[in-house]
Each structure stands twice: as C-alpha cells, then as structure tokens.
Structure 1
Amino acid sequence: MLYVVITFLFLAIVLYFLLGGADFGAGIIELFTSETNKSKTRKTMYEAIGPVWEANHMWLIIAVVIMFVGFPVIYSDLCTYLHIPLLIMLLGITARGTAFAFRSYDAIKDERTQTFYNHIFVYSSFITPLFLGIIAGSVISRQIDLHATNFVDAYIFSWLNYFSVAVGLFTVALSGYLAAIYLIGEADDEKDARRFIKKAKVMNIMAVIFGGLVFITAEFENIRMAHWIFGNPVSLTAVIAASISLIISWILINKGKRKIIRVGAGFQVTMILLSIGYMHYPNIVMVKNGQNLSLLTLHAPEKTIQDLGWGLFIGSFLILPSLFYLFYSFQKRDQ
C-alpha cells in the first residue's frame, strides 16, 4: 500500500503542475500582454479557467494531506526549513484567488479598484509559480542543512541560491507556455489564436533559456543534474520523448489542430518532471552532508499507510468522476 500512496502523491504533484501551473500561467500571459489586448485576453482566460480555477488547487491539497499523514517527518522538515518560500507561495495563491474573484464578481466595478485587483492577480500569478519552482529546486539542491545553528543558514540559504531561483524561473516559463497552449484552443477568432501562438513560442523560448540556466547553475553549485537526466535510460528517454512531442505539437499548431496540442503540452511537462525525479527516487528531499529523506523509510506506521491508501482509493472514485463532469459540462456549454 505504501507504493500506492507514493503513486497518488506523485500524480497529485504532476496534475497540480499541469492544471494549477496553467492557471498561474494565464496570469503570466496577461502580465506580458499589451494594454490594447489585455481586455480580450482576460475574457478568453476567464472563459477557459473561470468555472474550474478553484478545483485545480485540489491536487495541492491532496499532496499536502498525503505528506502530512503519510510522511510526517519529511513534511515537518519541509515546513520548517522552507517555511519562508512556502508562506510566500500560499500568500500568492490566496491573493491571486481573491483578486480573480473580486475583479470578476465585484458588484461595483470601479476602474481604480479593478486596476488594483488586476495588478494583484498578475503579479501573484508570477510570484506563486516562481516560489513553487524555488521549493522544488530546494529539495534537490542539497542546501537544506538539518544541523544549521543560525537562522540564515537554516531558513534563508536553504532555498535562496542560484539553482533554486533558476528552477523557479523555469517553472514560470513552463506555466506560461502551458497557459498559452491551452488558450490557443479557446480563442474565438483567428487573430486571437495567432496572438496566443506567438505567446506560446515566446514562453517556449524562455523555457529553453531558463532550462539551460538550470543546468549552468547546477554545475556551479555541484548538483549532478546532467548525470541525473542523461546518465540513465529512463530519464534520457523522457527527455527525448518530450523533445519529439514538442516538435509534433508545433507541426499540429501550424496545421490548425489547436485543441489536441494540449495533450502534447501536458505530456512534455510530465516527461520533464519524470526525467528530473526518476534518478533520485525514493529520496524526495536531498539535504547537506549526503543525507536524504526517503519516502520508503520515513513514512508513517503501516496501519496509517493502509488507511491512507484506502482513503485515496475511495476518494478517487467519489471525486474524479465529479471533476471530469465539471470540465465536461463547461466544455459542452461553450460549444
């Protein structure tokens, strides 16, 4: 049952990045849109994510619950040494959701308050995936020092380093790319579709640049990133599959197949996550002095894992059909 729980954990993380990441990416796209096109972008974005944006955070909640119940030692260490970036990320999620709701449903849409909500929405949409990526980079950077004796070493340098920041910027670019790809299929005219295609190309280029920066900073900080990805057949195959899928996606875009490319974009990001995570599994956190926090050793008692596994199974049968129906309903409504 332990492997079932671990599988649910990784699925929740991947789905949160694919759906929640695209959610944040919509705000990133708006942030880098000209004033002339901002209103149209907001309309398209609202039609795409408005009805279901809050449901995307379900995956984050599931991941947190699994960590809290199933792996309390790892959860405690993460929340202790990474509490600053975690707090900023959670504040970003809250501010973004609040601004989205107020600017969409405010009874009195005053121009000044709308501008205020818009600024909160777009900047929190940038900050949240940035710190999500910083947290992801921190858990594999070996900068977390469980034996630190001062505040700065324990709670600042555990996440504030070149590699983690590079991963954060890479995450922002991937989120923007996902959102642009998803929004291409939602555009109601050719001009808007071409505009989102252009945004997708820009975000694709930025993802490549920041991806290169991740490798450069990894070498600078003695993180074996290249070895993890290119040193084993599974990770290497995942990278090749993502690259081929990217080429196919752009061919499909040029041929006007603009809805199916969402599957390709999701596949690409999944392969990227697989290529990075496979090599050091089951070590979900890698800390200083060669220590690792392993999912296979630092888990809750067997009875707790059994109950958690069954709870996840039963919850899946209850929640997933409703979630799929929610997406289906709003897609059907728009047709």
Structure 2
Amino acid sequence: MDVALLALIVLWLALITYTVLGGADFGAGVLGIFTGRNAERQHEFINHALGPVWEANHVWLIFLVVGLFTLFPKGFAILCVALFFPLLLALLGIVLRGAAFIFRYYAPDTSSLFANVWWKVFNIASALTPFFLGASAAAVASGHLLDPSGKPNAANVSPWLSPFAIIIGLMGIALCTALAAVYLTVEAKDAQDAFLCESYRKKALIAGAVTAVLGLLGLLLSPIYAPGLWRGMLGHGIPLVIVSMLLGLLTAALLWLKQYRLSRLAVIVATAFLLSAWGFSQYPYLVPPALTVSAAANEPNVIKVVLISVLIGLIILLPSLYYLYSIFKLPYPAPGRVTQPEGHRKSDGA
C-alpha cells in the first residue's frame, strides 16, 4: 500500500475517534441548553459524565494536528492559512469551554450567578467548536477553498460561510448532540435513573432526526456548492453514504426499542461510515481540486518513521485510556454531590 494513503487512513481513524469521543463532549454541552425539568440534576449528571474524560479526549485532536503537520506539510500549510478564522473560532470554543467547565464545576454554589454565567459560556462554546469545524470541513470539500490564483487566502471567507458550509456546521452540532444523548442514555440506565434515561432517549431521537434532515439538505446543496464532492460520492462514495443512512435508522430503531448499549454501538459505527463517506468521495484530493494526497505527503521515509512511532505510542496510550475510562468513570450519582429527583430513589450501588 502507498505509505501516503496509509498515513491518510491513520489520520482519518483519529478524526473518527475524536468525533465519537470529543464530539460527544461538545454535544453534552449543547444538551445542557435543553434541560427543562430537573435542570440542576441534569447539569450535575453531565458534569459527572465529562469530568474524568473531557481533557483526555482532546489527545486525538492534538494527534490530528501534529500528524497533519508532519505527514502532509503542504496540506497543513494551505488549511491553516485558508481556514485561519474558522479554526481560530473553533479553538476559542475549545478554550472557553474548558475554562467554563472548570469554573462552573468547582463553584462553591452551583446555583449562584457566577456558576450560571459560566454554564451558559460552556453551552455556547460547546456549540461553537463543532459548528466551525463542520463549516471548515465543508469549505475543504467544496473545492473553492483556494482563490483563483491557487493560493490560500484567509480573507476569502465565502467557502466557510456558504449555505452548504452553514448547513454542515449545524449538522456537526446536531451529530455531536445525538452522540452525547445516546451515550448519556446508557449512563442513566446504569444509574437506574428512569427519568434521565427517558429524557436523553427522546433528545437522542430528536437530535438524530435533525442530523438526518441537515444531512439531506447538505446532499441537495452539494451539486451546487461542492460539485467535486458530489461527483466523487456518485462515483465511489455512495455505498458508504447508504450504509451510514441505514445505520442511522438502526440507531433510531434501537433507541425506540430502548436497546441503549446497541444504539450506542450503532451510532458510533454510523458516524464512522459518515466520515468515511466524505473521505472516499473526496479522494484522491486532500485539498480539492488542487492538492492530491500524494502531492501533499512528506517524504516516504519520514512517513514510515512517523507511522512506526504512532504504533509504539498507541501501545502505550490505549491501555492508559482504557484504565481512565474503566476506573475513573464511577457510577452516578457521585457520593455527596447530588440527590435523586423527587419520586426516584437513590440506588444502593450509587
């Protein structure tokens, strides 16, 4: 196999991993906007779910940035210049979200004005990042990222502010929200909290439906705003698109039947196929229509060394992450933090 293609596959797997893990963290923040009844209970539940893992999930984003810089330096340079403003706004969302989570989580009084302001910042920042990352992805896929001279220009904002990019940005928010809601149904089920479980089940179904509608709108707009992506999808990406749609329907059916663990697996696989459909439809371009994967790649010897280093790093990293997820994500509710809402008894194992 071409080492450049192998390097791209590795980065794409990291992108999928960041989406299904870090994306769910952003979605949890968006869900905080739609709490309704028992808002404080739901805030505490989201805090408990995110507490041990939200920082660790960003390791995949760091891996993506460093990997793109090392493996595809030409592509990295073009993307960082052309997408300077949306990526800056996405980074701002990450920073504000992290700061807001900490300030709110450790506030002496979680019902105070101080805590509520930071909770709002957390919610807004959680939507900001997936929107601009989605809009950036749409700008790349559009084939209009570079100006007529073929050079990146940060002042060229039309690719990431087009109707197509806005729809994909909103779809990014909806997808992250759906992921978070599905995950939280499993955690609420494990906590034997029927109220929260049903609440997140309904939100997962709604967010999934919104994701599907926005995805359909994106497909309808792609022949106009991303013709290269449309042709690539019809040429060799359509099977993955169909599979991702079917998996989305399967996720909804499993949620309807209250098969929460199976629905979690289904939504993860559906997201993987959705992102893979984008990659297959855009291939062989890294930045269409000017820069192919092979033209953007570093020297083959450099790529081989990096891939070997990645393999060694994963051998160290994956057991550590497994330990983090399995040991530190204790059952909810945490002792002494919250009480069950009225009408629900605290389980013996909590």
Aligned with residue 197 of structure 2, among 193, 200, 206? 193
Work out whether 1:160 is the aligned partner of 2:151.
no
Shift of 1:45: 1.3
Shift of 1:242: 2.5
What amino acid is the match of 2:326?
Y
Q: Separation in 1 of the partners of 2:329 and 2:146?
A: 48
Q: Separation in 1 of the partners of 2:109 and 2:329?
A: 29
Q: Deviations over 1:155-199 (max 9, x none)?
A: 322422111111101111111111111111111311211111111
Residue of structure 2 in register with 1:65 after alignment? 66
- Tell me, yes or no, if the aligned pair for 2:110 and 2:116 is still in contact at 8 Å: no
Q: Separation in 2 of the partners of 1:144 and 1:247?
A: 33
- Tell me, yes or no, if the aligned pair for 2:83 and 2:154 is still in contact at 8 Å: no
Q: Deviations over 1:15-46 (max 9, x none)?
A: 11111111100011111232x33212212212
Q: Kindly tell me the number of residue pairs found equivalent between the two proteins.
A: 328
Cα distance, 1:79–1:230 mapped onto 2, change above 3 Å: same
Residue of structure 2 in register with 1:303 after alignment? 301
Shift of 1:154: 4.2
Is the partner of 1:140 in helix, strand or coil?
A: helix
Is the partner of 1:56 in helix, strand or coil?
A: helix
Q: Separation in 2 of the partners of 1:306 and 1:191?
A: 51
Cα distance, 1:317–1:193 mapped onto 2, change above 3 Å: same
Shift of 1:331: 4.3
Q: Separation in 1 of the partners of 2:233 and 2:153?
A: 31
What amino acid is the match of 1:13?
L
Shift of 1:109: 5.0
Shift of 1:120: 0.6
- Tell me, yes or no, if the aligned pair for 2:32 and 2:42 is still in contact at 8 Å: yes
What amino acid is the match of 2:299?
P
| TM-score normalized with structure 1 length | 0.90
Shift of 1:105: 1.8
Aligned identity (percent) is: 31
Q: Separation in 1 of the partners of 2:213 and 2:254?
A: 23
Residue of structure 1 in register with 2:19 after alignment? 17
What amino acid is the match of 1:6?
L
Q: Separation in 1 of the partners of 2:30 and 2:271?
A: 17
Gaps of 5+ in 2: 333-348
Cα distance, 1:15–1:255 mapped onto 2, change above 3 Å: same
- Tell me, yes or no, if the aligned pair for 2:141 and 2:226 is still in contact at 8 Å: no
Residue of structure 2 in register with 1:329 after alignment? 327
Work out whether 1:210 is the aligned partner of 2:214.
yes
Aligned with residue 32 of structure 1, among 31, 34, 43? 34
Cα distance, 1:240–1:215 mapped onto 2, change above 3 Å: closer
Q: Separation in 1 of the partners of 2:238 and 2:148?
A: 35
Give RMSD over aligned pairs. 2.3
Cα distance, 1:149–1:5 mapped onto 2, change above 3 Å: closer
Residue of structure 1 in register with 2:133 after alignment? 132
Residue of structure 1 in register with 2:146 after alignment? 145
Residue of structure 2 in register with 1:119 after alignment? 120
Shift of 1:295: 2.0
Q: Which moved more, 1:291-300 or 1:116-125?
A: 291-300
Aligned with residue 225 of structure 2, among 210, 221, 241? 221
Q: Separation in 2 of the partners of 1:130 and 1:88?
A: 10
- Tell me, yes or no, if the aligned pair for 1:84 and 1:155 is still in contact at 8 Å: no
What amino acid is the match of 1:68?
F
Residue of structure 1 in register with 2:184 after alignment? 183
Poorly superposed stretches of 4+, deviation over 6 Å: 149-153
Shift of 1:332: 5.8
Q: Separation in 1 of the partners of 2:152 and 2:5?
A: 36
Gaps of 5+ in 1: none
Work out whether 1:174 is the aligned partner of 2:178.
no
Q: Separation in 1 of the partners of 2:116 and 2:316?
A: 40
Work out whether 1:246 is the aligned partner of 2:244.
no
Q: Separation in 2 of the partners of 1:109 and 1:255?
A: 36
Q: Separation in 1 of the partners of 2:283 and 2:151?
A: 30
- Tell me, yes or no, if the aligned pair for 2:142 and 2:229 is still in contact at 8 Å: no
- Tell me, yes or no, if the aligned pair for 1:143 and 1:159 is still in contact at 8 Å: no
Is the partner of 1:284 in helix, strand or coil?
A: strand
- Tell me, yes or no, if the aligned pair for 1:174 and 1:207 is still in contact at 8 Å: yes
What amino acid is the match of 1:11?
L
